């Protein structure tokens, strides 16, 4: 019987690459998306076209009723939930002195509250032996100017994941965080000039930006049998930038 994965933020970027990767290895995938139904449908078609199983579902990760419905769909369609990857997130950059508090609240609603809502549901519903993965950022360690609000929200994600891993003792469920470095997605690239992109690409010793597939490979490892001994960790998948 196929394992069942829920991937939030699954319509683009790292979430999309993760959904496709898990579908290719045989998982039945529920592709969660916030608003772009067309992009989510493309992901489903890609997975199904390659012989996999997938369905798309809209859910605001900070809305507990919508997230519960996402898990209901997975259980009703595929019989249960084994893997949850919370890739949904937003980023607003600003110096602390200038930050718009509405932007800060919006970012923390998705990144912090959304993580709590999704992982709370996962803690209740993931079958024993499963895996939960959250997505952070290497900026938590790099501490770059203008990233304070975003980094603070993701530091909360890392702390929550470690504590949840300890709380799930006895159920053989792993909880880990993947923290990519600069990654060539619209999420990272939008609003940056080419000089900034080139400079950041040169930072890691491997001298390139990460790809969504780099992060997806790590998620696949952590949620597969080979990675099951890794638990309560934040993996900085960033080419050696820190």
**Catalytic center residues:** 150
Q: Name the CA dihedral angle for 221, 225, 227, 231, rounded to a multiple of 10 degrees.
A: 120
Q: Reading across the β-sheet that carries 174-178, which strands appear in turn?
A: 53-58, 28-33, 4-8, 83-86, 131-135, 174-178, 234-235
Please state, in angstroms and as integers, the Cα–Cα distance from residue 73 to each residue in 13, 69, 96, following that order.
23, 6, 40
Contacts of 97 (CB under 8 A, 6+ apart): none
Query: Cβ contacts of residue 76 below 8 Å, gap of 6+?
Result: none
DSSP sequence for 187-202:
HHHTT--HHHHHHHHT
Secondary structure letter of residue 127 according to DSSP = P
Contact between residue 147 and residue 109 where contact means Cβ atoms under 8 Å apart: no
The partner residues of 103 in beta bridges, in order of sequence, read: none
Looking at residue 227, the DSSP 8-state letter turns out to be G
């Amino acid at each position: 019987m196929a394992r069942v994965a829920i991937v939030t933020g699954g319509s683009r970027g790292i979430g999309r690459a993760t959904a496709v990767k898990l579908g290719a290895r045989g998982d039945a995938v529920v592709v969660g998306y916030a608003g772009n139904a067309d992009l989510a449908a493309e992901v489903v078609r890609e997975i199904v076209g390659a012989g996999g199983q997938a369905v798309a579902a809209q859910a605001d990760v900070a809305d507990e009723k919508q997230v519960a419905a996402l898990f209901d769909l997975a259980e009703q369609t595929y019989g249960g939930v084994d893997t949850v990857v919370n890739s949904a997130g937003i980023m607003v950059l600003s110096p602390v002195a200038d930050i718009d508090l509405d932007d800060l609240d919006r970012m923390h609603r998705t990144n912090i509250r959304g993580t709590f809502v999704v992982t709370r549901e996962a803690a209740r519903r993931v079958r024993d032996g499963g895996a939960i993965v959250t997505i952070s950022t290497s900026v938590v360690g790099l501490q770059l100017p203008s990233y304070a609000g975003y980094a603070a929200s993701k530091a909360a994600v890392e702390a929550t994941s470690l504590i949840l891993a300890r709380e799930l003792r006895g159920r053989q469920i792993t909880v880990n965080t993947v923290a990519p470095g600069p990654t060539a997605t619209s999420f990272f690239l939008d609003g940056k000039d080419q000089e900034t992109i080139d400079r950041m690409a040169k930072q890691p010793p491997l001298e390139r930006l990460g790809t969504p597939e780099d992060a997806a490979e790590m998620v696949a490892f952590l949620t597969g049998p080979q990675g099951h001994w890794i638990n309560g960790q934040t993996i900085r998948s960033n080419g050696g930038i820190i």
